[in-house]
Amino acid sequence: MKEYLQVENLSFSYSRRKVLDKLTFGVRRGELVGVIGPNGAGKSTLLYLLAGLIVPESGKIVLGEKDTRFLSR
Other beta carbons within 10 Å of 13: 13
Instruction: Choose among 17, 15, 5: nearest CA to 47.
Output: 5
* In this structure, CATH architecture of domain 3-70: 3-Layer(aba) Sandwich (3.40)
Residues 42 and 73: their CA atoms lie apart, in Å, by: 22
Three-state DSSP at 70 gives helix
Q: Which helix (H) or strand (E) holds 12?
A: strand 3-14
- pLDDT digits over 2-31, tens only? 899 999 999 999 999 999 999 999 999 999
Q: What is the pLDDT of residues 48-72, one digit of tens each?
A: 999 999 999 999 999 988 777 766 6
